[in-house]
Amino acid sequence: MQWRNQRQSDNVEDLRGGGRGLAVGGGGIGVLVLALVIYLCGGDPSSLLDGVLNNPQQTEVQQPQQQQTAPGQRDENDQFARVVLAGTEDTWNTILPQQARIKYTKPTLVLFSGQVSSACGRAESAMGPFYCPGDRKLYLDFDFFRELKTEFKADGDFAQAYVIAHEVGHHVQNLLGTMDKVGKSNEASVRLELQADCYAGIYANFAQKKGILDAGDAEEAIRAASAVGDDTIQKRSQGYVVPDSFTHGSSQQRIEWFARGFKSGDMRQCNTFGR
């Protein structure tokens, strides 16, 4: 991915460097095990965290302090995330008015380490990247990228770009009102996640047209999509698959819907609710 020397977004809050993570007492170990599964699926941690943080046996959480960094001081992870976010901004600034007749409102990307507080509740890094519709912010701890590489063998910068673009896909759903129109069943969750994968594919299509994709970049994203499929996660964590419990879709489904967006660049091809 030819990301260097590309435009960097300023819609980023860097909260890394503060806080010590969540200290959980009582039944916290079971919660952390469940949190790991949600992390590997890239899920929204708010509902689980609300229950944990309201536990009276839980110790107080120290909040991180915002780390201010000048453009010249940004580390490589920061720069990369800003470039990808800028690419999603360029994509949806173009696509959304053309194809959905609405103006794109940019989200904010929050970089954190350890734990963070959002409008959806408090989250720790083990929960993985997530989007909070309440504050229209994406939350990312770079530890997830290391996990993606070492544990799931989904290496490459465009695999990481896919993760950010997927969360931006949820922001697009929020702008379109899709999140408000569907229920909270597992089936609705799967359809939302697969549509976000398709929207990530639209970003990849746009990036390809700009000439910033290298040979093999699409395959990196596909490997990442496959690695976080519910069936793959369940096989790794428990040795068997329970399709009725899926919340994000199977590996094959995630690959299929990303590919739809990538090949077409057309939001109409991302209607996961129409089938």
pLDDT in tens, 127-138: 788 999 999 999
Q: What is the DSSP letter of 216?
A: T
- Token readout for 224 is 């990442």
28 pLDDT more than 60: no
pLDDT in tens, 226-243: 666 665 656 566 666 666
Torsion angle, CA of 204/158/215/6, rounded to 10 degrees? 80
- Supply the pLDDT for residue 218: 76
- Supply the pLDDT for residue 235: 59
- Token readout for 39 is 């992390």
Q: Which one, of 145, 154, 265, lies nearest residue 210 by Cα?
A: 265
Q: What is the DSSP letter of 59?
A: P
- Supply the pLDDT for residue 30: 36
Query: Which sign, positive or negative, has the C-alpha torsion 263, 257, 139, 233?
Result: negative
Q: Which one, of 76, 274, 129, 104, lies nearest residue 206 by Cα?
A: 104
Do residues 227 and 153 lie in contact, with contact meaning Cβ atoms separated by under 8 Å?
yes
Instruction: Give the pLDDT band of residue 154 (cuts 50, 70, 90).
Output: low
Query: Model pTM?
Result: 0.76
pLDDT in tens, 38-55: 444 455 544 444 444 444
